[in-house]
Amino acid sequence: MASTATHLVVVFTMLVSAMAVAESNMLQDFCVADLSNAVKVNGYTCKDSTQVTPEDFYFQGLATAKAAANSSTGAIVTGATVEKLPGLNTLGLSMSRIDYAPNGLNPPHVHPRASEVIFVLEGQLYVGFVTTAGKLVAKYINKGEVFVFPKGLLHFQKNIAGSAPASVLAAFDSQLPGTQSLVASLFGALPDNILVESFKIKPKQVKTIKSRYQPKK
């Protein structure tokens, strides 16, 4: 009797697991994001299929380089996520273009919902990520080469050329990978006393750094 009950529990668990996997698959050809609908269910609701147009699957924002020299760190990220390309909704992918001024830096950050792979369009970069064990995995990469940043790990890219710009294309396995900047998050959000104790620096130093990062509303 106990053996039969155990078998039933195992079978039931397998069925529930199979249903969960099945329900995560798409049930239609596409689900273009209805960006006008304020209701979100871990993403966007689907636009009426009769209202879908080719423009829902098209974005030209990655075609040209941006003026990265005008940014504070010398790097500009242009995203092609579901918010700009509604046809990505439920597809689990997105892209971005990153342009770097000479010596430009895309500062340490994480993408909490996606792994990232970059392809160098122009220039030479020093790129890397930090493992949860605190090990730096970094490499110099050139035009035509590829580098991968695992999901959720702190990473960066630095244009090592002092006289030439650089550009990469990045692909993500999420329609909205999210980006959390390390320094901006720490000094733009945490209380002074937490930062003083964590970094073993003086309150005045904390205030100086925090003055550069406005807290999010």
Q: Which residues are annotated as a binding site?
A: 106, 109, 111, 116, 155
Burial class (CB in 10 A: 0-12, 13-18, 19+), 47: buried
**Cα torsion 47, 113, 178, 138: sign:** negative
Bind-site residues for Mn(2+): 109, 111, 116, 155
Pick out the residues of the known binding site for oxalate.
Answer: 106, 111, 116
For residue 105, which of 70, 81, 74 has the smallest C-alpha distance? 74
CA atoms of 86 and 56, how far apart (whole Å) = 5
Rounded to whole angstroms, the Cα distance separating 23 from 8 reads: 22
**Nearest-angstrom CA–CA distance, 117 and 110:** 13
